[in-house]
Structure 1
Amino acid sequence: MARDRRQTTAGRSVLTVLTAFGVLAGAALAGAAPAGAVPLGRRVAPGVTYRQFDIEEAAGRAHAHLLTVDLNNPHVRLDLLYPGSVAARATVSNLADSAGAVAGVNGDFFNISETQHPGVEATGATVGPAIAGGQVLKAAVPKAQRFGPSLPPGTTTTDVLGVGTDGRARLDRLTLSGSVGTPEGEFPLKGLNQYALPQNSVGAFTSRWGSVSRERATCGTDTDRAGACSEDTYEVKVRGGEVVSASDTPGSGSIPADTTVLVGREQGAQQLRQLSAGDEVTVTHDLVAATAKVPYRFAIGGYPVLRGGRPLSGLDDNTSAVRTVVGFADDGHRMLLLALDGAAAYRTGMTIAEEADLMDGLGASDAFNLDGGGSSEMVTRDTGAGSVTVRNHPSGGSERPVPNGIGVFSS
């Protein structure tokens, strides 16, 4: 019965989309789009098209901004937008302009505040794994430490949308595989540039982390993000394969490219206390894909809402919000990047269930939800322009700095 209701919703959304395509073919809907919005179906670059349209959903009318990207075009690619370090933030427009992207949307959920741990600095780092330009940036935080709405049943913080070296988009899971080798033996590495570590574990921080304090990594528990910060912590700096310093508390500041900082909590802290200056230490880490047989050039965290043309079971059908979602069709060779408008007239947005139905109706076989609300944003560059233009109204009234996004690049 629930599936029948979703099919009806999808049909209604698609009909409204087609109608809106006709209305908007000549000009943007009066008062609906921000200054500089482009007409329906305008080419951003070869293989990249931008359009906008209205959708009627249960909570009211929403306005969508859609990028269609042809990954079969050899001059088009997707990659991660990020400000040069994991624990840093910038607006989507700045991220896109700095990277030379012709278009982009915001990305993963992130550690935006620390009201539950007074005095502890929010890192700004994302929840899920991240790969940029084929290089691993970070792994996923424990599920209980996730920021954002509740995950649908069967999903996890390791879920990603990525594009492989074969140029094909996929939904996958990326889990950390790593170890720390010491004179006393080897133990597993349980974190890589993460704002939260599992209890009783050791995590690694590299130059990709940035200069933000590493203290947040030892706060919360495996069942409660608001759990107290650990009172048993230890930090070791490893340079050139040797221990060079140690501290009882996690530190801050930029990490040199030749240095790895190991942070331990509880049992992990006790393991690190066995090390002394001059001890040889080997740290290895990588992200392992659950399904892909080719390396990923790009991957970003979030959670799936549509697989093989079917919405996931248990999707929220009650809470409407401004949202960002990406999907793909044609066996992963055609991308759909969609951000809702946050203008007052459209701020009710849509539910996650409606989002999945909409992407299904637009032809996506698979879809992946990203951060929404005040983070939802889409930018594109006009032909000949030196910078991008924000195409939707951010619901907070201005662009929110975010830790990452998806960039569309054209050669």
Structure 2
Amino acid sequence: MKPVRLAAAVLLLTLPLCTAALPARATAPTDASVIERIAPGIEYRAFNVATAHGPTRIHLLTVDLRRPGVRAGLLYPGAVTDREPVSAMADRQGAVAAVNGDFFNITESQHPGVPATGAPSGAAVLDGRPLKAAVPEGQRFGGALPPGASGEDVFGVGTDGRARTARLTLHGHLRTRHTALPVRGLNQYALPEGAVGLFTSQWGSASRARAVCGTDRDRAAPCSHEVFEVTIRHGRVQRTSTTPGNGPIPPGTLVALGREGGARALRSLTPGTPVETGYRLASTSRVPFAFALGAYPVLTAHQPLPGLDAVTAEPRTAVGVADSGRLLRVIATDGRESTGTGLTLAELARLLGSLGCREGVYVDGGASTTLVTRNPTTGRTTVRNTLDHGQQRRVPNGLALYGPRTRGGSG
């Protein structure tokens, strides 16, 4: 099987894929070794491309969101700080296909004694409601963003059923009769300097100690020594603490955690004080999100973003938006193993563009890259890409795809 050159050649290879809906007798790419219908409106293909650094294997899902019953949702383990293999989440949620999602707080070697939370870096929306906000850009995992991008960038599907990219900015408040404080964090592993953040029952049981470490510009900076935490139960202060807590947060309870100036402001709250809180994720999209997850933009208006890395080839997971949000291109590449070298971010953006995508985002790659599909006959979920060391990494979220007549989970 002879691979084709990425860039100009891959455009010629994939032109039959760029139509809004694949006809039943669509011409296959000349080097495609696998073409399968996963469900009505969802097709899987695998093919090789050649690059200057060697060949790599591409795993592609084409998802027609116009098809009745076809939809996308958030692959979700049940709490922000929980992690599971993609296949386990897909099985539980009844997805016919799925890929891994956002970058996450995987390690804390810079802060001895502070456990990693496992929480994603970006914002997330679950079932139309805010789940978490984005950490400061200097605190995110996943490397430097290209010029013009933001740590608040997300990919998702709106309440109109169309996929899109946008930015989600947290707006929140904490008020008493004498105090009004802005809330600048929601269920996130790192709070902005001087801020107050809220944690809900959806945070999970992980320690909140990591949220006061690092700075807005340096993830490895020391943890703050000026911290104050307030537990609010049914609208009243229940207790206070000078250290971040851990363990599950019961439904009906909020935890407000402050660092530096935020900690000083929270010290005025005492047990029994009535407190009113509120928060929302303001979107640059006019249509609200049914679900969203943090993503790294690589393609906009059919053009790769400037400044994308063109040197480092890795396994990649990406999602492209075509046909005004009615069509998804979901990609996972091999790499680090004998089946391929992976792609650079610049190559990934060109590949998405060649597939007719107007917008494209990169989510977590490397050992996290996982694409699974469900056999429509046996119901068995299979990993389609070559995994790093043959093992699925536990991840905090992902993209779930549902076909007609399949039950739906989160999203």
Q: After TM superposition, list the pairs within 5 Å mapping 1:272-351 onto structure 2.
A: 272-290=266-284, 292-342=285-335, 344-351=337-344
**Equivalence for 1:162:** 156
**Equivalence for 1:263:** 257
Structure 1: runs of 5 or more not aligned: 1-7, 29-38
Deviations 1:98-120 (A, max 9, x none): 11100000000000000010110
Asked if residue 388 in structure 1 is aligned to residue 381 in structure 2, the reply is yes
Structure 1 window deviating more from structure 2 (199-208 vs 128-137): it is: 128-137
**Equivalence for 1:358:** 351
* Inter-partner Cα distance in structure 2 for 1:47 and 1:111: 35
TM-score of the superposed pair, with normalisation by structure 1: 0.92
For the residue of structure 2 that corresponds to 1:148, the secondary structure is: coil
* Inter-partner Cα distance in structure 1 for 2:150 and 2:212: 21
2:10 aligned partner, one-letter code? S
Asked if residue 220 in structure 1 is aligned to residue 228 in structure 2, the reply is no
Deviations 1:275-300 (A, max 9, x none): 0000011111110001x222110111
* Inter-partner Cα distance in structure 1 for 2:295 and 2:339: 23
TM-score of the superposed pair, with normalisation by structure 2: 0.92
Give 1:22's match in structure 2, choosing from 30, 39, 52.
Answer: 30
Deviations 1:118-163 (A, max 9, x none): 1101000001001122121100000000111211111111001111
**Equivalence for 2:402:** 409
Whether the aligned pair in 2 keeps the contact of 1:164 and 1:296 (CA below 8 Å) is: yes
Deviations 1:30-60 (A, max 9, x none): xxxxxxxxx31x1111110011000111211
**Equivalence for 1:55:** 49
Deviations 1:228-275 (A, max 9, x none): 000010111001100001111001010111000000101111111100
* Inter-partner Cα distance in structure 2 for 1:11 and 1:261: 53
Whether the aligned pair in 1 keeps the contact of 2:81 and 2:396 (CA below 8 Å) is: yes
For the residue of structure 1 that corresponds to 2:167, the secondary structure is: strand
For the residue of structure 1 that corresponds to 2:31, the secondary structure is: helix
**Equivalence for 1:196:** 190
1:217 Cα deviation (Å)?
0.2
* Inter-partner Cα distance in structure 2 for 1:171 and 1:338: 16
* Inter-partner Cα distance in structure 2 for 1:54 and 1:154: 31
**Equivalence for 1:373:** 366
Whether the aligned pair in 2 keeps the contact of 1:71 and 1:168 (CA below 8 Å) is: yes
**Equivalence for 1:119:** 113
1:183 Cα deviation (Å)?
2.8
For the residue of structure 1 that corresponds to 2:148, the secondary structure is: coil
Ranges of 4+ aligned residues in structure 1 off by more than 6 Å: none
1:9 Cα deviation (Å)?
5.3
1:158 aligned partner, one-letter code? E
For the residue of structure 1 that corresponds to 2:197, the secondary structure is: strand
Count of equivalent residues: 389
For the residue of structure 2 that corresponds to 1:208, the secondary structure is: helix
Whether the aligned pair in 1 keeps the contact of 2:139 and 2:219 (CA below 8 Å) is: yes
* Inter-partner Cα distance in structure 1 for 2:30 and 2:169: 45
Whether the aligned pair in 2 keeps the contact of 1:20 and 1:53 (CA below 8 Å) is: no
Whether the aligned pair in 2 keeps the contact of 1:329 and 1:363 (CA below 8 Å) is: yes
1:389 aligned partner, one-letter code? T
Q: After TM superposition, list the pairs within 5 Å mapping 1:105-254 onto structure 2.
A: 105-254=99-248
For the residue of structure 1 that corresponds to 2:318, the secondary structure is: strand
1:20 Cα deviation (Å)?
8.3
Give 1:98's match in structure 2, choosing from 74, 92, 101.
Answer: 92
Q: After TM superposition, list the pairs within 5 Å mapping 1:53-92 onto structure 2.
A: 53-92=47-86
**Equivalence for 2:392:** 399
Whether the aligned pair in 2 keeps the contact of 1:347 and 1:395 (CA below 8 Å) is: no
1:393 aligned partner, one-letter code? T
For the residue of structure 2 that corresponds to 1:358, the secondary structure is: helix
* Inter-partner Cα distance in structure 2 for 1:79 and 1:23: 31
* Inter-partner Cα distance in structure 1 for 2:96 and 2:40: 11
* Inter-partner Cα distance in structure 2 for 1:43 and 1:386: 14
* Inter-partner Cα distance in structure 2 for 1:201 and 1:55: 47
* Inter-partner Cα distance in structure 2 for 1:122 and 1:101: 29
Structure 1 window deviating more from structure 2 (335-344 vs 199-208): it is: 335-344
Whether the aligned pair in 1 keeps the contact of 2:370 and 2:383 (CA below 8 Å) is: yes
1:16 Cα deviation (Å)?
5.3
Instruction: Give RMSD over aligned pairs.
Output: 1.5
